[in-house]
Amino acid sequence: MLNGSVPIEKVMKEDTLTPIQKDQLSLVAAVKAFGEDELGLKKTASYETIYLGSNESPIYVVSAAPKDRLTLITWWFPVVGRMPYLGFFDLNRAKAEKEKLLERDLDTIIGQAEAYSTLGWFQDPVTLNLIDGSSLSLVETILHEMTHATLYVKGQGEFNEGLAVLVGKRGAFLFMEKTYGSSHPLTVEAAKSLHDEALFSSFLASLLEELEDLYNSPKTYEEKLAQRERIFARALQEFGALKSRLKTARFLAFEKRSLNNAYLMALGLYHRHYHTFESVLKKRDNAVKPMLSFLKDFVKEDGHIMERLQSWLE
């Protein structure tokens, strides 16, 4: 992908892309500048090129968890430390890894990622799937990945992804508001995205808390597995009632998936702690730049960052 990417400036002068795709691509430079200047995100050479080879989501993500614990299996890598998922460019390799995990009697899930970040080590390209999606998704994703390049802590997946979700969504709203005005449809759509994120985060956190209570109970392994299926069934019913309050289609796929610990914990990486980061943001004048400045110092201390953040807020 890196070797096959071409400068965005070059592509904008050619007829390779449709006019709509070019309109989407023209947003990227503006989003990068906004992220750097207004949000305090790190300036890198990423998203100045585009990969035209495929319009598929570039990464297949494999996650796994024990059936009686809310703990994601992790894999260790140099530089980034322990990761709570594996990423594959090839779907067949992802499926092969999933089969190995199933043989260990683990809950597993294969998801798709719209983008990825090499944390500023390489020049990450824009991909076709991003410019073929919605403008809001493009802006959120670019800011999300820029956040990873700005602040990333080894082995702290919930912190890294939760922070990136908050900055991506909040930053997208601020970008749309500044670029198009408060009443523009894109700004309204960004506000709806924030509303749904808060609503789904509360629902997911409550579900995970109930499961944690079950798994920490003295029940037998078989009893826990039987009880969790009842909890899963009730959660799907509750989501059926909740979805009438959602303003976008972002989370509607939840009721179409078979629930298991790997799926719920993979969602939890991104969405469980949204309200925690939102609270930190409010304590820093509701502004992303001072929040990031505070967190850069906060993460230097030892210990589990999310637990420390909760204590700090309390």
**The 3-state secondary structure of the chain, one letter per residue:** CCCCEEEHHHHHCCCCCCHHHHHHHHHHHHHHHHHHHHCCCCCCCCCCEEECCCCCCCEEEEEEECCCCCCCCCEEECCCEEECCEEECCHHHHHHHHHHHHCCCCEEEEEEECCCCCCCCCCCCEEHHHHHCCHHHHHHHHHHHHHHHHCCCCCCHHHHHHHHHHHHHHHHHHHHHHHHCCCCHHHHHHHHHHHHHHHHHHHHHHHHHHHHHHHCCCCCHHHHHHHHHHHHHHHHHHHHHHHHHCCCCCCHHHHHCCCCHHHHHHHHHHHCCHHHHHHHHHCCCCCHHHHHHHHHHHCCCCCCHHHHHHHHHC
What pLDDT score was predicted for residue 94?
95
Among candidate residues 64, 58, 57, the one with its CA nearest the CA of residue 97: 64
Distance of CA 185 to the CA centre of its chain: 23
CB of 236 closer than 8 Å to CB of 259: yes
Residues forming beta bridges with residue 127, ordered by sequence position: 51
Residue 79 is predicted with a pLDDT of 79
Quote the pLDDT of residue 247.
97
Question: What's the Cα-to-Cα distance from 41 to each of 78, 87, 136, 160, 173, rounded to whole Å?
Answer: 24, 24, 18, 14, 16
CB 39 within 8 Å of CB 292: yes
Looking from the CA of 286 toward its CB, the CA atoms found within 13 Å total 2
Count Cβ neighbours within 10 Å for each residue of 225-257 and write b for 16 or more, e otherwise: eebbeeebeebeeebeebbeebeeeebeebeee
Tens of pLDDT, residues 200-247: 999 999 999 999 999 999 999 999 999 999 999 999 999 999 999 999
The residues of the chain scoring below 70 in pLDDT are: none
pLDDT at 250 (0 to 100): 93
Compute how many other C-beta atoms are within 10 angstroms of the C-beta atom of residue 199: 17
Predicted pLDDT of residue 58: 73
